[in-house]
């Protein structure tokens, strides 16, 4: 299929404050032109479609925010570009032989926070405890590992107690950044910002990490500036060729690409698929491509009695025949060809092909079959379809708005009239977090099935707006948190995935393929998590 079908559905696209954001983007790009670096210094002028949502490292579990904050904050461990777990503030770790419910981490010495305070085990224990607070949006990682408490045994040893053996605890700590206890206490930030509730704290706009870069200034939705930390522990171990970072959110794909070509920015993290070939032919630029561990999918609210934003008898999404009908109406190959320009991997599951737990069987997607889909709709009691609003971000993933427009046209063929509500992800994600949406486009990236289950499948998952309720599945997910036997874990994971696939409360679309572009002298490497560690970037002198 080379051309997207025309939709007979009504399509209402709301673009609030678009003009205001366009002028802000132009002003931000213009400001870059006035930036002058001292002789020999290198400034990374980093552009991306979406701005950072908060600087509080435990308040918001979202890729763009995490990628920026990791320049300032560090964890005990982190993921390398190829997804392997490596030590950062921890140099070694082990499960205690006599106490399999305790993990012990030995910490790096001679590390200081940006205010000069020394990094100690008490800071690590405090940060882990802080990340478990009700307002923390990363607490699911610790819940998945069944963490009970963190204790500083001495200045450079921290122990994490879990509810039984927790084989994946180190993996889950890769998303937990370390803060300075004294700084948090001094600035009334002991508890994470209540991002879900729309509140702020001091840590939301200020930072005090141990990372290679520290904050200089922050203007939300316009520009954030960082500078290299001259007392960073990794000086001499990493290139740190970049002295200054200027991060500018530019929502318009065309504006971002033009800014890169003109030299107004020198690093574009999210290259639109339609521009990859053109940028690859530009001799002054470098394009780096690679797979990402992120998938894109639709979610439906299965538990509501009626739709909050549509017209239907009851809740059509409560009937899995409707969900399966919609699933087989999505032309993933057309989306790959016409929208993603080949830069996607069509999928029948929400787990990435490069994540632990993926199988080829899971990845198979249903054959496009409109006639069978119509039959399922009729059997479910919706022969004439129904209407519903699709909450769609326009800056949360590659070509998200265009994907939603395609879905509107595809579902119209089986009688589902979709009203498209396009908003920035800063508006859409809170709807998902607060479960205030019937139908939404979503993205997720995890290295392990358990993290997906805890966040998206468990009835109390932080991002589980599908509201799927199954006590048996909840119990299996909870069992995984302390199941140490590899074969038993594999069996439980397969059982959960079988239910997820059969119940079809998520409608998978594809896994993203990443493309980054830089000036020729700047060298970045592909990163499967779509993260970037600026300290590792090399610049030709």
* CATH number of the domain that residue 160 is part of: 3.90.76.10
User: What is the rounded distance in angstroms from the CA atom of residue 201 to the CA atom of residue 66?
Assistant: 18
Does some domain include residue 318? yes
> Radius of gyration (Cα) for the chain, nearest Å?
23
Q: Are residues 164 and 179 in the same domain?
A: yes
Q: Which of 156, 184, 212 is the last residue of a domain?
A: 184
- 3-state class of 390 per DSSP? strand
Q: How many CB atoms lie within 10 A of CB 449?
A: 25
Does some domain include residue 218? yes
In the chain the first and final C-alpha atoms are separated, in Å, by 47
Q: Are residues 418 and 321 in the same domain?
A: yes
Count of domains forming the chain: 3
User: What is the rounded distance in angstroms from the CA atom of residue 183 to the CA atom of residue 13?
Assistant: 44
Q: Are residues 148 and 254 in the same domain?
A: no
Does some domain include residue 81? no
In the chain, which residues have pLDDT < 50?
A: 1-39
The answer to whether 403 touches 509, Cβ cutoff 8 Å, is: yes
Query: What phi and psi, each to the nearest 5 degrees, are found at residue 279?
Result: -70, -35
Does some domain include residue 420? yes
Q: Are residues 524 and 391 in the same domain?
A: no
399: Cα separation from own chain's centroid = 15
Q: Are residues 507 and 526 in the same domain?
A: no
* CATH number of the domain that residue 316 is part of: 3.10.105.10
DSSP state letter for 538: E
Q: Which of 137, 168, 184 is the last residue of a domain?
A: 184
* CATH number of the domain that residue 277 is part of: 3.40.190.10
Q: Which of 184, 216, 232 is the last residue of a domain?
A: 184
Does some domain include residue 13? no
Share of the chain residues as helix, strand and coil, in percent rounded to the nearest 5: 30, 25, 45
Q: Are residues 509 and 519 in the same domain?
A: no
Q: How many CB atoms lie within 10 A of CB 389?
A: 18
Burial classification of residue 372, based on how many CB atoms lie within 10 Å of its CB (0-12 exposed, 13-18 middle, 19 or more buried): middle
CA contacts within 13 A on the Cβ side of 225: 11
Does some domain include residue 527? yes
Does some domain include residue 14? no
Query: What phi and psi, each to the nearest 5 degrees, are found at residue 250?
Result: -130, 105
Question: Pairing between strand 416-423 and 386-393?
Answer: parallel
pLDDT of residue 488: 94
Burial classification of residue 90, based on how many CB atoms lie within 10 Å of its CB (0-12 exposed, 13-18 middle, 19 or more buried): buried
User: What is the rounded distance in angstroms from the CA atom of residue 495 to the CA atom of residue 477?
Assistant: 10
Q: Are residues 507 and 534 in the same domain?
A: no
Q: Are residues 259 and 203 in the same domain?
A: yes
Q: Are residues 61 and 103 in the same domain?
A: no
Q: Are residues 404 and 439 in the same domain?
A: yes
Does some domain include residue 434? yes
Domain coverage including residue 97: 86-184
288 forms bridges with which residues in the sheet? 516
pLDDT of residue 40: 55
Q: Are residues 492 and 519 in the same domain?
A: no
346 forms bridges with which residues in the sheet? 510
Q: Are residues 493 and 348 in the same domain?
A: yes
Any idea which residue has 């039984």 for tokens? Answer: 164
User: What is the rounded distance in angstroms from the CA atom of residue 145 to the CA atom of residue 161?
Assistant: 10
pTM, two decimals, is 0.79
**Token couple for 513:** 């393929």
User: What is the rounded distance in angstroms from the CA atom of residue 527 to the CA atom of residue 66?
Assistant: 14
């Amino acid at each position: 299929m080379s051309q997207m079908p025309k939709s007979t559905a009504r399509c209402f696209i709301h673009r609030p404050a678009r003009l205001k954001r366009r002028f802000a983007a132009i002003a931000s790009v213009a400001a870059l032109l006035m930036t002058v670096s001292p002789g020999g210094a290198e400034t990374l002028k980093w552009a991306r479609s979406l701005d950072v949502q908060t600087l509080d490292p435990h308040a918001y579990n979202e890729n763009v925010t995490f990628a920026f904050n990791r320049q300032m904050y560090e964890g005990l461990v982190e993921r390398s570009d190829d997804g392997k777990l490596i030590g950062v503030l921890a140099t070694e770790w082990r499960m205690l032989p006599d106490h399999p419910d305790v993990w012990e981490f030995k910490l790096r010495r001679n590390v200081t926070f940006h205010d000069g305070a020394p990094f100690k085990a008490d800071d690590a224990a405090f940060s882990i405890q802080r990340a478990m607070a009700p307002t923390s949006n990363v607490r699911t990682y610790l819940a998945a590992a069944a963490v009970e408490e963190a204790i500083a045994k001495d200045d450079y040893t921290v122990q994490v107690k879990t509810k039984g053996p927790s084989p994946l605890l180190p993996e889950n700590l890769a998303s937990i950044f370390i803060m300075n206890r004294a700084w948090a206490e001094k600035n009334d930030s002991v508890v994470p910002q209540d991002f879900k509730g729309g509140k702020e704290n001091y840590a939301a706009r200020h930072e005090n990490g141990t990372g290679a870069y520290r904050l200089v200034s922050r203007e939300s939705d316009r520009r954030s500036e960082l500078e290299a930390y001259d007392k960073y522990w990794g000086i001499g171990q990493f290139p740190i060729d970049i002295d200054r970072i200027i991060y500018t959110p530019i929502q318009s794909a065309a504006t971002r690409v033009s800014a890169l070509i003109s030299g107004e920015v020198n690093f574009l993290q999210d290259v639109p698929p339609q521009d990859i070939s053109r940028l690859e032919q530009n001799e002054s630029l470098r394009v780096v491509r690679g797979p990402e561990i992120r998938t894109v999918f639709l979610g439906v609210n299965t538990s509501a009695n009626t739709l909050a934003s549509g017209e239907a008898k009851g809740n059509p999404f409560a009937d899995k025949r409707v969900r399966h009908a919609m699933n087989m109406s999505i032309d993933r190959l057309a989306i790959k060809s016409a929208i993603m320009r080949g830069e996607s991997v069509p999928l029948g599951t929400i787990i990435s092909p490069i994540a632990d737990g993926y199988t080829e069987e899971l990845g198979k997607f249903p054959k496009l079959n409109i006639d069978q889909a119509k039959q399922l709709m009729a059997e479910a009691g919706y022969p004439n379809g129904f209407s519903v609003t699709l909450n769609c971000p326009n800056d949360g993933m590659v070509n998200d708005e265009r994907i939603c427009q395609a879905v509107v046209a595809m579902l119209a063929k089986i009688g589902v009239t979709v009203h498209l509500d396009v908003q920035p992800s800063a508006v859409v994600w809170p709807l998902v977090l607060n479960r205030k949406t019937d139908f939404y486009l979503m993205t997720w990236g995890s290295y392990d099935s358990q993290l997906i289950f805890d966040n998206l499948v468990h009835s109390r998952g932080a991002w589980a707006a599908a509201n799927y309720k199954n006590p048996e599945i909840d119990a299996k997910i909870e069992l995984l948190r302390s199941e140490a036997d590899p074969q038993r874990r594999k069996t439980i994971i397969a059982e959960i995935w079988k239910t997820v696939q059969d119940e079809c409360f998520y409608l998978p679309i594809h896994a993203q393929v990443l493309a980054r572009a830089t000036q020729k002298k700047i060298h970045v490497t592909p990163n499967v998590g779509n993260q970037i560690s600026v300290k590792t970037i090399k610049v030709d002198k």
